[in-house]
Amino acid sequence: MGANRLDRVRELLKRELGEIIRRELPVDEVGVITVNHVDISSDLHSAVVYISTIGNPSQKSNAIRKLHKKSGYIQSLLARSIVLKHSPKLRFFTDDSIQKGDKVLEILNELETSSLPAIPEEADSNDRGE
């Protein structure tokens, strides 16, 4: 399968899975789930779906558990909405890259703030060589 076609299928799966998850899993139980990325095998037999969840710790753990439990059902809904030669077997994983990125930015911000040069309180014209 060509790379462009595989990219189109990947984006189509990402969009459709996001809609299915939004419809099928109640927000109060699982928080807000976002499909960040879908990796699909070139033969379309399997897909790894990376998700992130906004919610409390209980909702986050419920999200991945419910996705694993309902993966066959979600796969059947996906097969009805997207016609492919093979309906890929879905595996769900939590994508924590956004949280890791936020942590890196936070650390960089702290380093930048702590390494700013101190400005002497009494800087007069003699200190500047005038």
Q: Note the pLDDT tens digit of each residue in 37-63.
A: 999 998 889 999 999 998 898 998 899
Above 80 in pLDDT, residue 121? no
Q: Tokens standing for 130?
A: 């005038």
CATH of the domain at 13: 3.30.300.20
The whole domain housing 18 covers: 3-114
Establish if 92 belongs to a structural domain.
yes
Count of structural domains, the chain: 1
Q: Note the pLDDT of residue 47.
A: 94
Query: Whole-model pTM above 0.85?
Result: no
User: Does the structure show a pLDDT above 80 at 117?
Assistant: no
Structure tokens at 94: 């939590």
Confidence of residue 110 (pLDDT cuts 50, 70, 90): confident
Note whether residue 69 is domain-resident.
yes
- pLDDT of amino acid 111: 81
**103: in domain:** yes
First to last CA, the chain: 72
* Residue 25 belongs to a domain: yes
Pairing state between β 46-54 and 89-94: parallel
Is 21 within a domain?
Answer: yes
The distance from CA 104 to its chain's CA centroid, rounded to whole angstroms, is 16
**Does residue 130 fall inside a structural domain?**
no
Q: pLDDT (tens digit, 9 = 90+) per residue, 75-90? A: 999 999 888 877 899 9
Within a domain: 119: no
89-94: strand order across its sheet: 32-40, 46-54, 89-94
CA dist 65 and 90 (Å) reads: 14
- If one compares 1 and 98, the residue with the highest pLDDT of the two is 98
Examine residue 129 and state whether it is found in any structural domain, yes or no: no
Q: Sign of the C-alpha dihedral, residues 16, 17, 19, 24?
A: positive
Residue 86, SS3?
A: coil
Q: Is the Cα torsion angle 70, 56, 97, 4 positive or negative in sign?
A: positive
Q: Which has more pLDDT, 84 or 67?
A: 67
